[in-house]
Amino acid sequence: MATIQDVAAAAGVSTASVSRHLAGQPVRTADAIARAIDELGYQPNISARNLRTGRHAAIGVIVPDVTNPFFAALIKGVQQEARAAGVQILLGNSDEDPAQENALIGELSQRTDGIIIAPLVEEGRSATDVARLRMPVVFVDRESRERREVDRVMVDNLGGTRLAVEHLAALGHTRIAFIGGPLTSTPGRQRHAGFLDTMREHDLMVDERLVVIADFRESGGHDAMHALWREQSRPTAVFAANNVMTLGALRALDEVGARVPDDISVVGFDDLSFATLLRPPLTVVRRPEVEQGAAAARLLLDRVDGDTGSPPVSVTLAVELVVRGSTGVARPDDGIDRG
């Protein structure tokens, strides 16, 4: 590989001039340098540059699962902003394992200028570890509970859940079930709280047996729905707190032969690209997924670019209810105790 010295020699200038030319600064001998670079096929050694500058021109993104459509979309948003900023992305997949998440934070922190973390569960040492990190961090969907306050991009979990529950209430449902995620996670906690609050606001009884805390996974939603269906007194509607749990719930309902929305109405949190292709099309709370990734990246890149002084900000994105076919009016004979 040709080095900057080779280019300098070929162009008859100093390495400093080549370096300046590379940095876009005006140089008299720009033409000669450009020619030399071209002829030699010169490409700067990034490691040397990074060592010298103490920067990486790269950011890290840590998600629980790339194959979850939401996180895939999030990554896409980060990519868009990163590309525009000329920054590369190091991707970490934690497999929903706090230990792996921590390991990834440690590894990526040595190779990047900042990290975007979308945690599923807020356990382990990550909170303290992040506090020790001397680099910009942006959290996605995570309340700040760390010593060090960091930037965050949140989604309106309470509002979204309210939208969903009020929609069901307006359809006449009273026995509304909730399939939630771990209360150790921000989305899990906020959507759970939103559910309880909205139910109470509308004077709807919250039957504890209809509130199932699962794990944000497809299998969790599946098992939770089966459990709900076994209840003496079944729900006439169910709100599932994330995309894949909703899918799991639908699978369970399919297995027991329940008809949606005739036997039970279903609303999910987070849209799916194929939601309209499901039968019936799925009613969901939709958030701007790609935008959330882009917003996180923008926040991070601002910090990386030197804005380290201003206080941490928290951006909350709005959601909307998309009513499709999986929700319908409560049947008059619904909610009857089958005992």
Partner DNA sequence: CTGAAAGCGCTAACAC
Partner DNA sequence: GTGTTAGCGCTTTCAG
Q: What is the contact surface with DNA in residues (CB under 7 A)?
A: 1, 3-5, 13-20, 22-23, 25-29, 42, 44-45, 48-49, 51-54
Whether the upstream peptide bond of residue 280 has omega within 30° of 0, thus cis, is: yes
Task: Tell me which residue of 148, 136, 151, 150 sits closest to 59, measured CA to CA.
Answer: 136
Find the shortest distance in angstroms from Cβ 206 to a copy of itself: 29
Please answer whether residues 188 and 182 qualify as being in contact, where contact means their C-beta atoms are separated by less than 8 angstroms. Answer: yes
Find the shortest distance in angstroms from Cβ 254 to a copy of itself: 7
Find the shortest distance in angstroms from Cβ 104 to DNA: 20
Per CB under 8 A, which of residues 196..255 are in contact with a copy of itself?
Answer: 218, 247, 250-251, 254
User: Would you say 106 or 262 has its CB closer to DNA?
Assistant: 106
Whether the upstream peptide bond of residue 261 has omega within 30° of 0, thus cis, is: yes
Please answer whether residues 217 and 245 qualify as being in contact, where contact means their C-beta atoms are separated by less than 8 angstroms. Answer: yes
Binding mask 49-88 for a copy of itself (x = CB under 8 A): -xx----x-x--x---xxx-x--xx-xx--x---x----x
User: Would you say 278 or 322 has its CB closer to a copy of itself?
Assistant: 278
Residue 270 binds which of a copy of itself, DNA, none (CB < 5-8 A, kind-dependent): none
Per CB under 8 A, which of residues 154..193 are in contact with a copy of itself?
Answer: none
Q: How many CA atoms lie within 13 A of 173 on its CB side?
A: 29
CA-to-CA distance for 236 and 229, rounded, in angstroms? 10
Partners of 317 in the β-ladder: 155
Using rule CB under 8 A, residue 278 touches a copy of itself: yes
Using rule CB under 8 A, residue 257 touches a copy of itself: no
Residues with Cβ within 8 Å of residue 33, at least 6 apart in sequence: 7, 11, 13, 17, 18, 21, 27
Among 219, 230, 279, 308, binds a copy of itself (CB under 8 A): 279
Find the shortest distance in angstroms from Cβ 101 to a copy of itself: 12
